[in-house]
């Protein structure tokens, strides 16, 4: 039971970071119907930007806030330069553009920062773990969970209580109706990419504090895919819950199944669960069910 609780708690803490990245992925799909396959590379850029600012002597909190600001600007520029010219094109064409962006951003990161693993030095969070009975929790996991929770609350509040947040929801529900009410769809799409950049960058920064930072952090975008699909591609609460579920499944698989397999079960197991659930719930746990009448 102690081992189970240890794996469960750590899975929830890491899953909160996955939920943050999944939120950005869901937001873009919800507004435009496009799967952003460059999401992992957005985490890379944000994480390396924050690391660079931190190594320049800027306190971590301010470096994180500057990362959010830079992510906001980069998100708008990406949408304006690369995605806006694709308006009206088939969805598959736009998805392939995001694939091209993934390779472009990864190459840019490798050119500027290289491929070696780097760490936040000095460490941002205390190294002394916290003991709850016999359960050990690293402070970096705990503080990463707190930061993810604060940002998730901030983003969800933005969607629910601000003019542009409500405009984004309206555009996602019915674009033509939103346009008829005066909603500027171009601004909505730019905001979606800006928020996705911000969420992904913070997620990458928090993971970089846990495991160090290298080019492999970009695979987080692929790893978050099961969370997005499980929750429902167009469900923001589903993305959050899906991220937590994937974090827990990863840890439990690593703790109980890795001893019986050559390796890699930790990363494969969430995809296996995703496939099984989609057999019974094709739209995810909270996704919108599309009803077509002939």
Q: Assign domain 2-280 one CATH number from 1.10.150, 3.40.50, 1.10.3470, 1.25.40.
A: 1.10.3470
pLDDT value at position 18?
86
- What is the residue extent of each domain of the chain? 2-280
* CA–CA distances in Å: residue 274 to residues 33, 228, 289: 20, 10, 17
Over range 208-222, report the average pLDDT: 80
Mean pLDDT of the chain, nearest integer: 82
> 37 with 100: CB under 8 angstroms?
no
d(CA 288, CA 228): 13
Over range 132-138, report the average pLDDT: 79
Considering only residues 31 and 70, tell me which one the structure prediction assigns the higher pLDDT. Answer: 70
Helices (H) and strands (E) in the chain, counts: 11, 2
pLDDT value at position 52?
93
- Point out which residues pair with 137 in neighbouring strands: 130
pTM for this one?
Answer: 0.85
> 119 with 217: CB under 8 angstroms?
no
pLDDT value at position 235?
76
Q: Is the pLDDT of residue 287 over 70?
A: no
Task: Give 238-283 pLDDT, tens digit per residue.
Answer: 888 888 888 888 888 888 888 777 777 887 888 888 888 888 887 7
Over range 213-227, report the average pLDDT: 80
Going by C-alpha positions, the residue among 193, 34, 196, 38 that lies closest to residue 105 is 38
> 189 with 79: CB under 8 angstroms?
yes
């Amino acid at each position: 039971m102690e081992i189970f609780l240890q794996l469960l708690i750590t899975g929830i803490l890491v899953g909160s970071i996955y939920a943050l990245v999944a939120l950005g992925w869901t937001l873009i799909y919800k507004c435009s119907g496009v799967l952003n396959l460059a999401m992992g590379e957005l985490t890379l850029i944000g994480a390396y930007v924050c690391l660079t600012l931190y190594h320049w002597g800027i306190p971590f909190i301010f470096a994180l806030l500057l990362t959010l600001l830079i992510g906001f600007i980069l998100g708008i520029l990406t949408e304006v330069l690369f995605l806006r010219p694709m308006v009206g094109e088939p969805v598959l064409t736009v998805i392939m553009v995001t694939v091209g962006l993934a390779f472009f951003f990864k190459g840019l990161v490798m050119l500027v920062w290289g491929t070696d693993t780097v760490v936040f030095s000095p460490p941002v969070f205390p190294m002394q773990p916290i003991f709850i009975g016999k359960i050990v929790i690293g402070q970096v996991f705990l503080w990463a969970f707190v930061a993810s929770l604060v940002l998730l609350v901030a983003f969800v509040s933005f969607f629910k209580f601000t003019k542009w947040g409500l405009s984004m929801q309206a555009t996602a529900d019915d674009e033509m109706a939103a346009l008829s009410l005066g909603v500027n769809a171009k601004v909505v799409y730019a905001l979606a990419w800006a928020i996705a950049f911000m969420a992904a960058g913070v997620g990458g920064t928090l993971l970089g504090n846990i495991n160090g930072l290298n080019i492999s952090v970009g695979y987080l975008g692929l790893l978050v895919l099961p969370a997005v699909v499980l929750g429902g591609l167009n469900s923001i609460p589903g993305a959050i819950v899906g991220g937590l579920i994937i974090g827990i499944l990863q840890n439990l698989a690593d703790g109980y199944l890795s001893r019986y397999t050559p390796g890699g079960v930790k990363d494969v197991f969430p995809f296996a669960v995703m496939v099984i659930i989609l057999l019974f719930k094709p739209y995810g746990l909270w996704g919108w069910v599309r009803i077509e009448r002939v």
